[in-house]
């Protein structure tokens, strides 16, 4: 074990505070991810050459999707965290469920909430659901990149104790040298996955319904499982069987569903499936 670690950068989680109202990096990451994703989605949907005549969402549908996906991500993310990670605590302290600004969001729960928002938007605008899921999958890495970076700024969800030279001493982690696993996730789930999806889209992936969605499921699931080997498990849960973590367990279905969608998209020749 090294005698030192990189000091945790002193970044106030609160950007600006006006009386009781505070703007936090964590909240800004969610807002920025949704807005940047919305702009990127509009750009993708307007480029007819990417779709090859396949039905695609218009600006109005994407405007609605922004609202419903935002509600789904926040509500689903919080409900998912409560159910998957700390249900006994919240049953004893129900008022704590509302304190979203203190952290505690589940990606998998947010994904379910976002999917429900996608279904609602698709039905309202009479669009094939895969037209929306492919666009949402393409833009999701933006939010993951910003969200994991905000986790680092908050000094939460840090990694396991390590002797790597880039270990960081998190104040909330006992000032022990730990993997900056939040940045690993930002780099893999966010930046790397986003670049892979961008390359596939430029190669014509949006012309195959469900292909981008499937690759996202596989890519996110694999990246999350990889990063879980460096991330400290939530203390109230710890390790599950065989050293597995809850994050690993919840990611396995994403990989399986993603693989099935990729295989199905390769067999689909008609558009609008």
Q: What is the pTM of this model?
A: 0.85
Pair of tokens at residue 171 = 């104040």
Residue 223 has pLDDT above 90, yes or no: yes
pLDDT value of residue 232 = 93
Contact present, 205 and 215 (Cβ < 8 Å): yes
Contact present, 105 and 112 (Cβ < 8 Å): no
Q: What is the mean pLDDT of the chain?
A: 88
What residues contact 155, with CB distance under 8 A and at least 6 apart? 8, 13, 170, 171, 172, 173
Segment 225-229 mean pLDDT: 96
How far is Cα 249 from Cα 85, in angstroms, rounded to an integer? 12
pLDDT value of residue 21 = 74
pLDDT value of residue 95 = 80
How far is Cα 9 from Cα 169, in angstroms, rounded to an integer? 9
Torsion of CA 241, 245, 247, 251, to 10 degrees: -40
Segment 121-142 mean pLDDT: 94
59-110 residue pLDDT tens? 999 999 999 988 888 888 888 888 878 788 888 888 877 776 666 778 888 8
For residue 161, the SS3 value is strand
248-268 residue pLDDT tens? 998 999 999 999 999 999 876
């Amino acid at each position: 074990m090294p005698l030192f670690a990189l000091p945790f950068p002193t970044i106030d989680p609160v950007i600006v505070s006006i009386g009781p109202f505070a703007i936090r990096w964590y909240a800004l990451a969610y807002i920025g991810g949704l807005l940047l994703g919305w702009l990127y989605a509009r750009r993708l949907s307007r480029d007819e050459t990417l779709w090859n005549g396949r039905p695609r969402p218009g600006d109005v549908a994407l405007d609605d999707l922004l609202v419903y996906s935002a509600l789904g991500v926040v509500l689903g993310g919080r409900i998912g965290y409560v159910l998957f990670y700390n249900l006994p605590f919240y049953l004893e302290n129900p008022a704590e469920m509302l304190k979203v600004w203190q952290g505690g969001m589940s990606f998998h729960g947010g994904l379910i909430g976002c999917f429900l928002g996608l279904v609602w938007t698709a039905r309202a605008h009479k669009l094939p659901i895969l037209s929306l899921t492919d666009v949402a999958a393409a833009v999701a890495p933006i939010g993951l990149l910003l969200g994991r970076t905000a986790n680092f700024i908050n000094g939460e969800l840090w990694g396991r104790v390590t002797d790597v030279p880039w270990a960081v001493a998190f104040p909330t982690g006992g000032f022990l040298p730990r993997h900056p696993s939040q940045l690993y996730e930002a780099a893999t789930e966010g930046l790397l996955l986003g670049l892979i999806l961008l390359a596939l889209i430029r190669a014509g992936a949006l012309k195959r319904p469900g292909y981008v969605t499937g690759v996202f499921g596989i890519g996110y699931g694999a990246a999350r499982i990889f990063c879980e080997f460096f991330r400290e498990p939530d203390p109230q849960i710890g390790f599950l069987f065989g050293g597995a973590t809850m994050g690993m367990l919840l990611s396995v279905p994403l990989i399986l569903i993603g693989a099935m969608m990729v295989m199905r998209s390769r067999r689909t020749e008609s558009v609008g499936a």
